[in-house]
Protein backbone atom coordinates (compact mmCIF):
# COMPACT_ATOMS: atom_id res chain seq x y z
CA UNK A 1 0.00 0.00 0.00
CA UNK A 2 1.69 3.22 -1.07
CA UNK A 3 1.83 5.89 1.56
CA UNK A 4 1.65 8.61 -0.97
CA UNK A 5 -0.64 11.30 -1.41
CA UNK A 6 -2.58 11.79 1.10
CA UNK A 7 -5.78 13.46 -0.15
CA UNK A 8 -7.15 14.00 -3.66
CA UNK A 9 -5.28 17.08 -4.91
CA UNK A 10 -8.32 18.98 -6.12
CA UNK A 11 -9.64 18.79 -2.56
CA UNK A 12 -6.72 20.95 -1.47
CA UNK A 13 -8.38 23.86 -3.22
CA UNK A 14 -11.56 23.66 -1.17
CA UNK A 15 -9.63 22.84 2.01
CA UNK A 16 -7.27 25.79 1.79
CA UNK A 17 -9.91 28.16 0.44
CA UNK A 18 -12.06 27.51 3.49
CA UNK A 19 -9.57 29.39 5.64
CA UNK A 20 -10.54 32.93 6.65
CA UNK A 21 -12.05 34.23 3.43
CA UNK A 22 -12.28 38.03 3.51
CA UNK A 23 -15.58 39.79 3.02
CA UNK A 24 -14.52 40.88 -0.45
CA UNK A 25 -12.88 38.41 -2.75
CA UNK A 26 -9.94 40.07 -4.57
CA UNK A 27 -9.80 37.32 -7.18
CA UNK A 28 -11.72 37.48 -10.49
CA UNK A 29 -14.45 34.88 -10.87
CA UNK A 30 -12.73 33.57 -13.98
CA UNK A 31 -9.89 32.21 -11.82
CA UNK A 32 -12.18 29.89 -9.89
CA UNK A 33 -13.87 28.80 -13.10
CA UNK A 34 -10.49 27.87 -14.61
CA UNK A 35 -9.57 25.94 -11.45
CA UNK A 36 -12.87 24.06 -11.48
CA UNK A 37 -12.20 23.16 -15.12
CA UNK A 38 -8.64 21.99 -14.25
CA UNK A 39 -7.20 24.78 -16.41
CA UNK A 40 -4.57 25.69 -13.86
CA UNK A 41 -2.15 27.45 -16.21
CA UNK A 42 -4.92 29.82 -17.34
CA UNK A 43 -5.81 30.47 -13.71
CA UNK A 44 -2.18 31.27 -12.89
CA UNK A 45 -1.96 33.74 -15.77
CA UNK A 46 -4.78 35.76 -14.20
CA UNK A 47 -3.45 35.32 -10.65
CA UNK A 48 0.03 36.55 -11.58
CA UNK A 49 -1.48 39.69 -13.09
CA UNK A 50 -3.07 40.71 -9.77
CA UNK A 51 -1.16 43.52 -8.05
CA UNK A 52 -1.87 42.42 -4.47
CA UNK A 53 0.58 39.53 -4.35
CA UNK A 54 0.16 39.07 -0.59
CA UNK A 55 -3.60 38.58 -0.72
CA UNK A 56 -4.54 35.32 1.00
CA UNK A 57 -7.11 34.74 -1.75
CA UNK A 58 -4.40 34.98 -4.40
CA UNK A 59 -1.82 32.92 -2.50
CA UNK A 60 -4.25 30.10 -1.75
CA UNK A 61 -5.19 29.73 -5.38
CA UNK A 62 -1.59 30.01 -6.56
CA UNK A 63 -0.57 27.28 -4.16
CA UNK A 64 -3.37 25.04 -5.36
CA UNK A 65 -2.59 25.59 -9.05
CA UNK A 66 1.15 25.08 -8.70
CA UNK A 67 0.53 21.96 -6.60
CA UNK A 68 -1.86 20.44 -9.12
CA UNK A 69 0.55 21.24 -11.98
CA UNK A 70 3.33 19.43 -10.12
CA UNK A 71 5.33 22.62 -9.55
CA UNK A 72 5.96 21.83 -5.90
CA UNK A 73 8.63 24.47 -5.27
CA UNK A 74 6.38 27.37 -6.26
CA UNK A 75 3.46 25.78 -4.41
CA UNK A 76 5.59 25.62 -1.26
CA UNK A 77 6.53 29.29 -1.64
CA UNK A 78 2.87 30.29 -1.92
CA UNK A 79 1.80 28.28 1.13
CA UNK A 80 4.80 29.48 3.14
CA UNK A 81 3.73 33.08 2.49
CA UNK A 82 0.25 32.21 3.76
CA UNK A 83 1.72 30.80 6.97
CA UNK A 84 3.90 33.92 7.37
CA UNK A 85 0.71 36.01 7.26
CA UNK A 86 -1.52 33.56 9.16
CA UNK A 87 0.53 31.12 11.24
CA UNK A 88 -2.54 29.05 12.21
CA UNK A 89 -3.92 28.51 8.71
CA UNK A 90 -4.49 24.75 8.91
CA UNK A 91 -5.23 24.37 5.19
CA UNK A 92 -1.86 25.86 4.26
CA UNK A 93 -0.04 23.89 6.98
CA UNK A 94 -1.59 20.64 5.77
CA UNK A 95 -0.68 21.41 2.14
CA UNK A 96 2.88 22.25 3.22
CA UNK A 97 3.09 19.02 5.21
CA UNK A 98 2.30 17.05 2.06
CA UNK A 99 4.51 19.09 -0.24
CA UNK A 100 7.54 18.97 2.06
CA UNK A 101 7.16 15.18 2.17
CA UNK A 102 6.97 14.99 -1.63
CA UNK A 103 10.23 16.94 -1.80
CA UNK A 104 11.73 14.73 0.96
CA UNK A 105 11.97 17.73 3.28
CA UNK A 106 10.69 15.58 6.12
CA UNK A 107 11.78 17.94 8.89
CA UNK A 108 9.45 20.62 7.52
CA UNK A 109 6.64 18.12 7.12
CA UNK A 110 7.03 16.90 10.70
CA UNK A 111 6.94 20.49 11.97
CA UNK A 112 3.71 21.16 10.07
CA UNK A 113 1.86 18.13 11.42
CA UNK A 114 3.22 18.67 14.92
CA UNK A 115 1.79 22.17 14.81
CA UNK A 116 -1.55 21.00 13.40
CA UNK A 117 -1.86 18.40 16.17
CA UNK A 118 -1.00 21.01 18.79
CA UNK A 119 -3.82 23.14 17.36
CA UNK A 120 -6.32 20.27 17.16
CA UNK A 121 -5.21 17.25 19.16
CA UNK A 122 -8.43 15.29 18.55
CA UNK A 123 -8.25 15.38 14.75
CA UNK A 124 -7.44 11.81 13.69
CA UNK A 125 -6.69 12.93 10.14
CA UNK A 126 -3.59 14.84 11.24
CA UNK A 127 -2.23 11.79 13.08
CA UNK A 128 -2.80 9.65 9.98
CA UNK A 129 -0.93 12.14 7.80
CA UNK A 130 1.87 12.32 10.36
CA UNK A 131 2.06 8.52 10.30
CA UNK A 132 2.36 8.50 6.51
CA UNK A 133 5.18 11.04 6.72
CA UNK A 134 6.88 8.78 9.26
CA UNK A 135 6.71 5.91 6.76
CA UNK A 136 8.04 8.05 3.92
CA UNK A 137 10.87 9.35 6.11
CA UNK A 138 11.83 5.86 7.28
CA UNK A 139 10.99 6.60 10.92
CA UNK A 140 8.85 3.60 11.93
CA UNK A 141 8.47 4.74 15.53
CA UNK A 142 6.83 7.99 14.43
CA UNK A 143 4.65 6.13 11.95
CA UNK A 144 3.50 3.54 14.48
CA UNK A 145 2.74 6.06 17.22
CA UNK A 146 0.66 8.28 14.97
CA UNK A 147 -1.26 5.50 13.21
CA UNK A 148 -2.12 4.01 16.61
CA UNK A 149 -3.37 7.40 17.81
CA UNK A 150 -5.40 7.88 14.61
CA UNK A 151 -7.14 4.54 15.17
CA UNK A 152 -7.73 5.31 18.85
CA UNK A 153 -9.56 8.49 17.83
CA UNK A 154 -11.26 6.94 14.81
CA UNK A 155 -11.52 3.12 14.98
CA UNK A 156 -12.98 3.06 11.47
CA UNK A 157 -9.86 4.56 9.87
CA UNK A 158 -9.16 1.82 7.32
CA UNK A 159 -6.03 3.45 5.87
CA UNK A 160 -4.29 3.94 9.23
CA UNK A 161 -5.21 0.41 10.30
CA UNK A 162 -3.85 -1.05 7.06
CA UNK A 163 -0.53 0.78 7.39
CA UNK A 164 -0.20 -0.21 11.04
CA UNK A 165 -1.08 -3.86 10.37
CA UNK A 166 1.42 -4.09 7.51
CA UNK A 167 4.15 -2.69 9.76
CA UNK A 168 3.35 -5.19 12.50
CA UNK A 169 3.15 -8.17 10.13
CA UNK A 170 6.52 -7.26 8.59
CA UNK A 171 7.90 -6.74 12.11
CA UNK A 172 6.92 -10.30 13.12
CA UNK A 173 4.14 -9.14 15.44
CA UNK A 174 1.10 -10.68 13.75
CA UNK A 175 -0.67 -10.96 17.11
CA UNK A 176 -0.75 -7.18 17.53
CA UNK A 177 -1.69 -6.74 13.87
CA UNK A 178 -4.70 -9.01 14.38
CA UNK A 179 -5.74 -6.99 17.44
CA UNK A 180 -5.82 -3.70 15.52
CA UNK A 181 -7.44 -5.27 12.46
CA UNK A 182 -10.28 -6.78 14.48
CA UNK A 183 -10.90 -3.44 16.17
CA UNK A 184 -11.34 -1.65 12.85
CA UNK A 185 -13.22 -4.50 11.16
CA UNK A 186 -15.73 -4.36 14.01
CA UNK A 187 -16.90 -0.94 12.79
CA UNK A 188 -16.11 -1.04 9.06
CA UNK A 189 -15.99 -3.47 6.17
CA UNK A 190 -12.86 -3.69 4.06
CA UNK A 191 -11.67 -6.56 1.87
CA UNK A 192 -8.12 -5.23 2.14
CA UNK A 193 -8.23 -5.40 5.93
CA UNK A 194 -9.69 -8.91 5.73
CA UNK A 195 -6.75 -9.93 3.54
CA UNK A 196 -4.35 -8.43 6.08
CA UNK A 197 -6.18 -10.29 8.84
CA UNK A 198 -5.62 -13.56 6.99
CA UNK A 199 -1.93 -12.69 6.59
CA UNK A 200 -1.66 -11.90 10.29
CA UNK A 201 -3.34 -15.18 11.20
CA UNK A 202 -1.05 -17.08 8.86
CA UNK A 203 1.96 -15.30 10.36
CA UNK A 204 0.74 -16.34 13.80
CA UNK A 205 0.41 -19.97 12.63
CA UNK A 206 -3.38 -19.80 12.95
CA UNK A 207 -3.76 -21.63 9.66
CA UNK A 208 -7.37 -22.76 10.05
CA UNK A 209 -8.40 -19.24 11.07
CA UNK A 210 -6.66 -17.77 8.01
CA UNK A 211 -8.46 -20.23 5.74
CA UNK A 212 -11.79 -19.32 7.35
CA UNK A 213 -11.06 -15.62 6.76
CA UNK A 214 -10.25 -16.17 3.08
CA UNK A 215 -12.95 -18.71 2.14
CA UNK A 216 -15.89 -16.22 1.89
CA UNK A 217 -13.98 -14.35 -0.84
CA UNK A 218 -13.27 -17.58 -2.70
CA UNK A 219 -16.94 -18.54 -2.58
CA UNK A 220 -17.72 -15.22 -4.30
CA UNK A 221 -15.22 -16.10 -7.02
CA UNK A 222 -12.61 -13.56 -5.89
CA UNK A 223 -9.56 -15.78 -6.42
CA UNK A 224 -6.64 -13.35 -6.31
CA UNK A 225 -3.04 -14.53 -6.18
CA UNK A 226 -2.82 -13.35 -2.57
CA UNK A 227 -5.77 -15.49 -1.54
CA UNK A 228 -4.34 -18.44 -3.46
CA UNK A 229 -0.97 -17.97 -1.78
CA UNK A 230 -2.56 -17.95 1.68
CA UNK A 231 -4.65 -21.03 0.92
CA UNK A 232 -1.68 -22.93 -0.53
CA UNK A 233 0.64 -22.15 2.39
CA UNK A 234 -1.94 -22.75 5.12
CA UNK A 235 -3.13 -26.07 3.69
CA UNK A 236 0.49 -27.16 3.22
CA UNK A 237 1.30 -26.30 6.85
CA UNK A 238 -1.77 -28.30 7.93
CA UNK A 239 -0.34 -31.22 5.90
CA UNK A 240 -3.39 -31.20 3.63
CA UNK A 241 -1.19 -31.68 0.61
CA UNK A 242 -3.84 -32.78 -1.89
CA UNK A 243 -5.83 -29.64 -1.12
CA UNK A 244 -2.75 -27.41 -1.20
CA UNK A 245 -1.55 -28.56 -4.65
CA UNK A 246 -4.35 -26.92 -6.74
CA UNK A 247 -3.70 -23.56 -5.06
CA UNK A 248 0.05 -23.82 -5.63
CA UNK A 249 -0.57 -24.84 -9.25
CA UNK A 250 -2.81 -21.77 -9.59
CA UNK A 251 0.15 -19.60 -8.63
CA UNK A 252 2.36 -21.20 -11.29
CA UNK A 253 -0.39 -20.88 -13.88
CA UNK A 254 -0.46 -17.16 -13.15
CA UNK A 255 3.29 -16.68 -13.56
CA UNK A 256 4.26 -16.73 -9.88
CA UNK A 257 7.39 -18.81 -10.42
CA UNK A 258 8.91 -18.26 -7.01
CA UNK A 259 11.30 -20.90 -5.67
CA UNK A 260 9.14 -21.51 -2.60
CA UNK A 261 6.15 -22.49 -4.78
CA UNK A 262 8.16 -25.24 -6.52
CA UNK A 263 9.56 -26.37 -3.19
CA UNK A 264 6.11 -26.64 -1.58
CA UNK A 265 4.78 -28.54 -4.59
CA UNK A 266 7.73 -30.91 -4.52
CA UNK A 267 7.34 -31.63 -0.81
CA UNK A 268 3.58 -32.05 -1.24
CA UNK A 269 3.97 -34.69 -3.96
CA UNK A 270 6.76 -36.36 -2.01
CA UNK A 271 4.53 -36.70 1.05
CA UNK A 272 1.84 -38.15 -1.19
CA UNK A 273 4.41 -40.77 -2.34
CA UNK A 274 4.42 -39.37 -5.87
CA UNK A 275 8.19 -39.20 -6.00
CA UNK A 276 8.55 -39.10 -9.78
CA UNK A 277 6.34 -36.01 -9.93
CA UNK A 278 8.10 -34.48 -6.93
CA UNK A 279 11.52 -34.67 -8.60
CA UNK A 280 10.31 -32.44 -11.46
CA UNK A 281 9.66 -29.60 -8.99
CA UNK A 282 12.96 -29.99 -7.16
CA UNK A 283 14.78 -29.74 -10.49
pLDDT for the residue 10? 47
Residue 248, pLDDT above cutoff 90: yes
Residue 283 has a pLDDT of 79
Q: What is the pLDDT of residues 193-229, one digit of tens each?
A: 999 999 999 999 999 999 999 999 998 887 889 999 9
Average pLDDT, integer, range 99-111 = 97
Predicted pLDDT at 158? 97
58-81 mean pLDDT: 96
Going by pLDDT thresholds of 50, 70 and 90, the confidence category of residue 46 is: very high
The answer to whether 100 and 112 are in contact (CB under 8 A) is: yes
Distance CA 250, CA 51 (A): 65
Q: At residue 9, does pLDDT exceed 90?
A: no
- Do residues 54 and 72 lie in contact, with contact meaning Cβ atoms separated by under 8 Å? no
Cα dihedral 113/116/121/126 (nearest 10): -50
Mean pLDDT value across residues 168-181: 97
Is the pLDDT at 257 greater than 50, yes or no? yes
Q: Does 8 score more than 60 pLDDT?
A: no
Mean pLDDT across 98-117: 97
Give the model's pLDDT for residue 20.
44
User: Which residues are within 8 A (CB) of 161 and not within 5 positions of it... i.e. 6 or more apart?
Assistant: 147, 151, 180, 181, 183, 184, 193
According to DSSP, residue 154 is labeled -
Mean residue pLDDT across the chain = 91
Q: Is the pLDDT assigned to residue 2 strictly greater than 50? A: no
Q: What is the pLDDT of residue 194?
A: 96
What's the pLDDT at 51?
81
Cβ 19 vs Cβ 91: under 8 Å? yes
For residue 162, the surrounding DSSP H or E stretch is helix 158-170
Q: Output the pLDDT for position 6.
A: 43
pLDDT of residue 5: 44
Give residue 21's pLDDT. 47
Q: What is the reported pLDDT for 25? A: 57
Amino acid sequence: MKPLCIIPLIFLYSLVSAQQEPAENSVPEEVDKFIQLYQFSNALTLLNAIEDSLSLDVLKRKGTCYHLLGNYNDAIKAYEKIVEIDSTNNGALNALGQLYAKEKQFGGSIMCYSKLIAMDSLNSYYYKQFGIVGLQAGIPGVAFQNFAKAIALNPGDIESCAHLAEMLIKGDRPDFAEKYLRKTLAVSSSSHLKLLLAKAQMGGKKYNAAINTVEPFLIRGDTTLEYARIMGICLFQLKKYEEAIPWLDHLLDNDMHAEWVYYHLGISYQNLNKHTVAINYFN
